[in-house]
A and B are shown apart, each in its own frame.
Chain A
């Protein structure tokens, strides 16, 4: 059975190709268009998937759509009916948009005439989290902005069966609350949430905690947010109104304005409130399912600080590599457990790379090395405090670079974080970097409960030897690497360990400010030339600027 999974028209559009229950290829549309969190129909991602699987569109037996548009449309109009006059123009806009984004019409326009299966938005999240987990029985908690109607679900997975037990509906949404405060703090909703998370440890939550608490009429599994502070139900513009400013006694921050202590305190309070609600939901998941394993899904599962708290009630916690809507393209296809790797994107042969390199002969010098020599040389350069662009094999699926499209640096020097933030990535100085470490060495440097292969949990550091990888509060968003998962990256970490006894690297995504993660060798070389990255490694080529 050949299936094509599609997530589109909200954010993080993506496509995946599945043949007989095995994911052959998957990619996010943003990588091809260069538009961050691109929500357009993922035509480029679909083309890539078909090419990778050497399959024609006519061979596809079923398209699995990651949500039910009809159900979503009903919710939107139902909400508009509460304020018919105020939402008149928005209703017309919605009508037009739903018509243009009708999956049948869009799929017909690309020549697909087969079956289309629509899967509930949160069910797609649930499927992706549970069926890619190692568990045969687990509680599944999904939290995001909004799907068709649901914003939070609790389910139980047993064997191949998933049963939904509890859900919370729009407009009561933890994801939307987080996005609202993100935009209040001058960051872009659906993108800047990571920045708020990074900012939170710099603030004191006490200043705004009680004020934010006033937004809640109900908590945890009875979440009820007072809508008088928000505009979600009747506007697509700014997500809050003047009442929220009055409540917080703070004007919203414009992006170009300085981040003050008040903003840091608000970020800290928001994170605390989110953690409180999250832990209530985790406890409820435990009560309702009685299992010892927990799978997390939905965009909020990127909140690594909160995720780590789930161990209070569960022995084991699994968070997939793309818990947001992108992963739902895969989740929509899944009906049973599957072995899956996050490396599902395009890869390039040495011949293709050589062809690209030859076009930059006057700007770069390159050397083709054996794997052993390449690892040794790269490790030497990293130990000497060089910053390296690292491009290997298939591109990762999801928001995290997991060692195939990464910028690498040594975490041993305290100024490396500033150098990376300000000189290379040109982003806010408060944002932390994630360390990668071989799985078996991880417990020497971090307080881990389990492996964290996809960088989606924040743990306490044990040592002062890696200052650039440690956030201001002593936390680290770790990636544990195994030889099985990523052999060459694992060998590089081991080589570094052999040289300086600290087998840890700073691993940040291979992109510069406001760019999407690097897709192909040409993009990698262009970015290398336009930045102060010292060396670039593409497969077996070591490249330096002339």
Chain B
């Protein structure tokens, strides 16, 4: 049970990190990409 909860917390933390990093990248113009 504890292991399962730990796994959920870890995956939630990862999700948070992905979201944060993506938001940070979106702010940075050099990472914008033109497809037209």
User: Which A residues lie at the B interface, using CB under 8 A?
Assistant: 10-11, 39, 72-73, 75-76, 94, 97-98, 145-146, 170, 176, 179, 183, 188-190, 232-233, 236-239, 241-242, 245-246, 249, 251-252, 254-255
Q: Are A237 and B18 in contact (CB under 8 A)?
A: no
Q: Are A188 and B31 in contact (CB under 8 A)?
A: yes
Contacts of A94 in B (CB 8 A): 36
Q: Are B33 and A246 in contact (CB under 8 A)?
A: no
Contact of A236 among B15, B17, B22, B33 (CB under 8 A): B33
Q: Are A232 and B22 in contact (CB under 8 A)?
A: no
Q: Are A237 and B31 in contact (CB under 8 A)?
A: yes
Q: How far is the CB of A264 from chain B (nearest CB, A)?
A: 18
Interface size on B, residues (CB 8 A): 18
Contacts of B34 in A (CB 8 A): 10-11, 39, 236
- With most chain A CB atoms within 10 A of its CB, the pick from B18, B22, B25, B36 is B36
Top-10 shortest CB links A-B: A245-B18, A76-B36, A251-B21, A188-B30, A238-B25, A251-B17, A237-B26, A252-B21, A189-B33, A239-B33
Contacts of A75 in B (CB 8 A): 36
B35 contacts the other chain (CB 8 A): yes
What's the Cα separation between A379 and B12 when bound, in Å?
Answer: 61
Q: Are A183 and B31 in contact (CB under 8 A)?
A: yes
Contacts of B6 in A (CB 8 A): none
User: Which B residues lie at the A interface, using CB under 8 A?
Assistant: 14-15, 17-19, 21-22, 24-26, 28, 30-36
Q: A242-B15, A252-B25, A254-B25 are in contact. Are A236 and B35 (CB under 8 A)?
A: yes
Chain B: which residue is nearest A234 at the CB level? B35
What's the Cα separation between A245 and B20 when bound, in Å?
Answer: 12
Q: How far is the CB of B7 from chain A (nearest CB, A)?
A: 13
Q: Are B22 and A252 in contact (CB under 8 A)?
A: yes
A-B contact count (CB 8 A): 68
Contact of B21 among A72, A179, A254 (CB under 8 A): A254
Chain A contact residues: helix, strand, loop or mixed? loop
Q: Are A145 and B21 in contact (CB under 8 A)?
A: no
Contacts of B31 in A (CB 8 A): 183, 188-189, 237-239
What's the Cα separation between A254 and B22 when bound, in Å?
Answer: 9
Chain B: which residue is nearest A171 at the CB level? B35
Q: Are A97 and B33 in contact (CB under 8 A)?
A: no
Q: Are B22 and A238 in contact (CB under 8 A)?
A: yes
Contacts of A239 in B (CB 8 A): 31, 33
Contacts of A10 in B (CB 8 A): 34
What's the Cα separation between A76 and B35 when bound, in Å?
Answer: 8
What's the Cα separation between A348 and B20 when bound, in Å?
Answer: 51
What's the Cα separation between A506 and B21 when bound, in Å?
Answer: 38
* 6 more CB-based (< 8 A) A-B contacts, given A245-B18, A251-B21, A254-B24: A179-B33, A188-B31, A237-B31, A238-B22, A242-B18, A254-B25
Q: Are A237 and B32 in contact (CB under 8 A)?
A: yes
Chain B: which residue is nearest A39 at the CB level? B34
What's the Cα separation between A521 and B18 when bound, in Å?
Answer: 47
Q: How far is the CB of B34 from chain A (nearest CB, A)?
A: 6
Q: How far is the CB of A251 from chain B (nearest CB, A)?
A: 5
Chain B: which residue is nearest A244 at the CB level? B18
Q: How far is the CB of B24 from chain A (nearest CB, A)?
A: 6
What's the Cα separation between A241 and B25 when bound, in Å?
Answer: 11
What's the Cα separation between A11 and B36 when bound, in Å?
Answer: 10
Chain B: which residue is nearest A239 at the CB level? B33
What's the Cα separation between A10 and B22 when bound, in Å?
Answer: 24
Q: How far is the CB of B10 from chain A (nearest CB, A)?
A: 11
Contacts of A245 in B (CB 8 A): 18, 21-22
Contacts of B30 in A (CB 8 A): 188
What's the Cα separation between A254 and B24 when bound, in Å?
Answer: 8
Contacts of A251 in B (CB 8 A): 14, 17-18, 21
